[in-house]
Amino acid sequence: MIVGGSVRVPGDKSITHRALLLSALARGTSRIGGGLTSLDARSTARVLRRLGAEVSPLRQGATVTVRGGRLAPPELPLDCGNSGTTCRLLLGLLAGQRFSATLTGDASLRRRPMRRVTHPLAEMGARFDDGGHDGLPLTVRGGRLQPLRWELPVASAQLKSALLLAGLTGSVPVELTEPAPSRDHTERMLRALGYTLEQREGKIVFHPDGKPTPLALQVPGDFSSAMFLIGAAILAERGSLRIEQVGVNPTRTAALEVLRRMGAAVEIENRDEPFGEPVATLVTGPAELRGTTVEGSEVPGLIDEIPLLAVLASRAERTTTFRDVGELRVKESDRLALLARNLTAVGAQAVIDGDNLLVTGGDAPPRGRVTTGGDHRIAMAFTVLGTIPGARITIDDPACAAVSYPGFVDSLASIRVA
């Protein structure tokens, strides 16, 4: 394949979720341009409507308006679909509300653990009924909250953001200690809205010293989505690809350092920083890849990029080791098992050793059937692998890519020159 041209990717999923949630709390009308219109983002919009916020339809190219203020008790369960971000952040938002709500989701989301979020929220004073199992459905009974000082057991932007949102809605300070840095979109957005949030010596200290105000922002392109097009360009035979207006938040771009060690170059041009989030154009092209080691300390900054990095590793010289990636087992699927199984199914060498994944590269055209388990990132990663000349990969559920990247297959086709 020869790649070329300039392309944009859908809006950042993490920022879209947070913008919608904070807009629902603000009295007045917020305007969100460039937001993601995927199934996950629509799940957040849907539950906010059930809580009384007025959210316009999420359509490609349209500015989303949110008229928020006082949330109301929902008459029906809040269906979060497949979106773990929607569910976990919503738990924090609801913890400070003076009513009860039941959260549920699809079969995949109902299996994902929630007690890592509900435990510290319960310490703040919220009450939960999960029927005795660590998952959905569960009912949250919010109310008067207490200040929280908490040491996070894992580096998790979802957990951290849920606790910060609880501090916001409950009007109590929150002090968190992270074992390693994780995505900081919530912190940046809260600062942009005028709240006091300090970060020092691994601690995050939040003071709810304001009121939610309407937002007016343009959501940058999602870096995790851009990585799949970057991967296709790296595997191409010739050409150069430009991806414009991509969010390059430093807590999201650790994958670029891994690519550099593997021998691929991604240039960053035209930097800007609207609403506290850095944005840039990414330029890349084909590369001869070599194996590397991804340390556990790097994983929080590239957890969503591991499926793409793993399929790239299957085309690299020598072995690539991903250390301490056990968190992949509790994503939209058991992503760790699916990666190893599917890489093996298409002729690559992949082994799980405890919480480590080892992928040994080869040059034979990948051929076989991929089982996604409904996981959008598995589907997109192996679709990228299927662009290699001679590849014959069948993906059982390619449509699940719409969870985070509507129109992914069309975007992939658009960068193909020949």
What distance in Å separates the CA atoms of residue 411 and residue 8, rounded to the nearest whole number?
9
Coil, strand or helix at 153: coil
Give the model's pLDDT for residue 276: 86
Q: Is 102 exposed, middle or buried (0-12, 13-18, 19+ CB in 10 A)?
A: middle
Q: What is the pLDDT of residues 161-181, one digit of tens each?
A: 999 999 999 999 999 999 988
The pLDDT, as a whole number, for residue 275 is 82
* Most distant CA atoms of the chain, gap in Å: 61
Quote the strand ranges of 8-77, DSSP E: 28-33, 54-55, 64-68
The angle at the Cα of 400, spanning 362 to 134, to the nearest 5 degrees, equals 100
Q: Are 68 and 389 in contact (CB under 8 A)?
A: no
Nearest-CA neighbor of 18 among 160, 203, 116, 147? 160
pLDDT at 220: 97
Model pTM score: 0.89
pLDDT for residue 211: 86
Single out the residue of 27, 156, 39, 100 nearest to residue 17, CA to CA: 39
The distance from CA 207 to its chain's CA centroid, rounded to whole angstroms, is: 26
pLDDT, residue 202, reads 84
**Known catalytic residue at 304:** yes
**CA pair distance 372, 327, nearest whole angstrom:** 18
Strand partners, 207: 196
Place of tokens 């079969």: 107
Of 377, 374, 405, which Cα lies nearest the Cα of 39?
405
Asked if 333 contacts 111 with a C-beta cutoff of 8 angstroms, the reply is: no
List strands edge to edge, sheet with 127-129: 78-79, 100-104, 138-141, 127-129
What pLDDT score was predicted for residue 313? 98
How many Cβ atoms are within 10 Å of 411's Cβ, its own excluded? 21
Spot the catalytic one: 12, 304, 363, 375: 304
Residues of the chain with pLDDT under 50: none
pLDDT digit string, tens, across residues 248-260: 999 999 999 999 9
What does the pLDDT read at residue 181? 87
Q: How far apart are CA 207 and CA 313, in angstroms?
A: 43
